[in-house]
Amino acid sequence: MKMLINTPETVVADALRGMALAHPELAVDVEGRIVVRRDAPVAGKVGLVSGGGSGHEPLHGGFVGHGMLDAACPGEVFTSPVPDQMVRAAAAVDSGRGVLFIVKNYTGDVLNFNMAAELAEDEGIQVASVLVNDDVAVTDSLFTAGRRGTGATLFVEKIAGAAAEEGAPLERVEALARRVNESSRSFGVALGACTTPAKGSPTFDLPAGELELGVGIHGEPGRERRAMMTSGEIADFAVDAVLTDLRPTGPVLLLVNGAGATPLLELYGFTAEVHRVLAERGVTVARTLVGDYVTSLDMAGASVTLCQADEELLRLWDAPVQTPGLRWGR
- Closer residue to a second copy in complex, CB, 133/195: 195
Q: How far apart are CA 7 and CA 178, in angstroms?
A: 39
Asked whether the beta carbons of 84 and 137 are under 8 A apart, the reply is no
Minimum gap (Å) between residue 284 Cβ and a second copy: 12
- How many angstroms separate the most distant Cα atoms in the chain? 55
Nearest to 304 by CA among 244, 250, 227: 244
Query: According to CB under 8 A, which residues from 60 to 99 bind a second copy?
Result: 62, 77
Please, which residue, 84 or 266, has the CB nearer to a second copy?
266
Decide whether 46 or 256 has the Cβ nearer to a second copy.
256
Which DSSP category does 66 fall into? B
Q: What are phi and psi of 69, to 5 degrees?
A: -85, 150
Q: Which of residues 114-133 bind a second copy (CB under 8 A)?
A: none
Shortest distance in whole angstroms from residue 308 CB to a second copy = 19
Write down the least CB distance from residue 19 to a second copy, Å.
5
Stretch that binds a second copy, among 55-63, 142-150, 243-251, 303-311 (CB under 8 A): 55-63
Q: How many CB atoms lie within 10 A of CB 38?
A: 12
d(CA 111, CA 324): 28
Please state, in angstroms and rounded to a whole number, the distance separating the CA atoms of residues 289 and 306: 11
CA distance linking residue 102 with residue 151, whole number of Å: 13
Q: Please select the residue that binds a second copy; options are 39, 142, 272, 310, rule is CB under 8 A.
A: 272
Residue 181 or 323: the one with the smaller Cβ distance to a second copy is 323
Per CB under 8 A, does 232 bind a second copy? yes
Task: Give the residue numbers marked as catalytic.
Answer: 56, 218
CA separation for the pair 303, 256 (Å, rounded): 6
d(CA 212, CA 186): 15
Q: Which is closer to a second copy, CB of 8 or CB of 146?
A: 8
Q: Given strand 99-104, what is the order of strands in its sheet?
A: 26-29, 34-37, 71-77, 47-54, 99-104, 127-132
List binders of a second copy among 196-215 (CB under 8 A). Answer: 208-209, 211
Among 105, 129, 183, 271, binds a second copy (CB under 8 A): 271
CA angle 158, 305, 218 (to 5 degrees): 95
Instruction: Look at residue 283 and give its three-state secondary structure.
Output: coil
Residues within window 10-29 making contact with a second copy, judged by CB under 8 A: 10-12, 14-19, 21-23
Of the pair 124, 330, the CB lying nearest a second copy is at: 330
Binding-site size, a second copy (CB under 8 A): 68
User: Cα separation of 151 and 173, whole Å?
Assistant: 19
3-class DSSP state of 289: strand
CB of 126 to a second copy, least distance (A): 31
Q: Which of 152, 277, 297, 313 binds a second copy (CB under 8 A)?
A: 297
Q: Does 246 bind a second copy (CB under 8 A)?
A: no
Stretch that binds a second copy, among 35-43, 93-101, 127-135, 228-236 (CB under 8 A): 228-236
- Site residues, a second copy (CB under 8 A): 2-7, 10-12, 14-19, 21-23, 54-55, 57-58, 62, 77, 191-192, 208-209, 211, 228, 230-232, 234, 256, 260-273, 275, 285, 288-290, 292, 295, 297-298, 300-302, 320, 322, 324, 327-330
